[in-house]
Amino acid sequence: MLLDDLKSILSTPINPIIETKEQYNFASILVVIYGNEPIVIMTEKPKHMKFHAGEISFPGGKLDSGDSDLLETALRETREEIGLSISKSQVIGQLEPVVTLNSGFLILPFVSIIDKIPTLSANNEVEKIFHIPLESFLKTEKKDPDPAHNIIQEMYTFEYRNQIVWGASARILKQIQNCLKS
């Protein structure tokens, strides 16, 4: 799997505004993929967080009143959480929005594929930063065995170093996996 192939497969038009009649809290994340062996960046949330404590997720967060749109949210949150500045021109596409079961968020995922990244540093919203080889990671996909997690749609899990990635993050990874299969 080469970065150029990923760029062509995951490049889509960007529409950073969601129109919905349903009551959601809006959020966005940034899927950052880099390197010769495509590596995806994910984070572990601290155990003391109000939402999604201890979960493995992508850099991102909720829409703030100062953000012009959800793309700006994803870029701001990525810069704040892991110290990575990505410009709008480095965002090549977006995936379908996903909904969280517990916290009522509608998350719009954006994708950035870059050659290399600087050293990252976590803020207080991030316990750990993971640099995960994408191809082998996507091969760990399983159906989520917990029937309670399958209420709104099919759920999946992925595994990295004995850590389970589930929920919205796993559904975002499943979208990437589906794009690569087609």
What are the pLDDT digits (tens) for 48-97? 766 666 789 999 999 999 999 999 999 999 999 999 999 999 999 999 99
What are the sequence ranges of the domains in the chain?
Answer: 3-16+23-135
Q: How many helices (H) and strands (E) does the chain have?
A: 4, 11
Confidence check: pLDDT of 2 > 80: yes
Q: What is the reported pLDDT for 120?
A: 97
What is the average per-residue pLDDT within 169-178? Answer: 95
Q: What is the reported pLDDT for 21?
A: 74
Q: pLDDT band for 45, please (50, 70, 90 cuts).
A: confident
Spatial distance between the Cα atoms of 29 and 19, rounded to a whole number of angstroms: 18
| Tokens 């029937």 belong to residue | 147
Spatial distance between the Cα atoms of 61 and 4, rounded to a whole number of angstroms: 28
Spatial distance between the Cα atoms of 125 and 80, rounded to a whole number of angstroms: 9
- Taking only the tens place, the pLDDT of each residue in 6-37 is 999 999 999 998 887 778 899 999 999 999 89
Neighbours of 51 (CB within 10 A): 15
CATH of 3-16+23-135, one of 3.40.718.10, 3.90.650.10, 3.30.56.10, 3.90.79.10: 3.90.79.10
Residue 104, Ramachandran bin (φ over 0: left; ψ between -120 and 50: alpha; else beta)? left
Confidence check: pLDDT of 1 > 80: no
Strand partners, 44: 56, 128
* Torsion of Cα atoms, 56 then 60 then 61 then 67, to 10°: 180
Spatial distance between the Cα atoms of 90 and 111, rounded to a whole number of angstroms: 9
Confidence check: pLDDT of 152 > 70: no
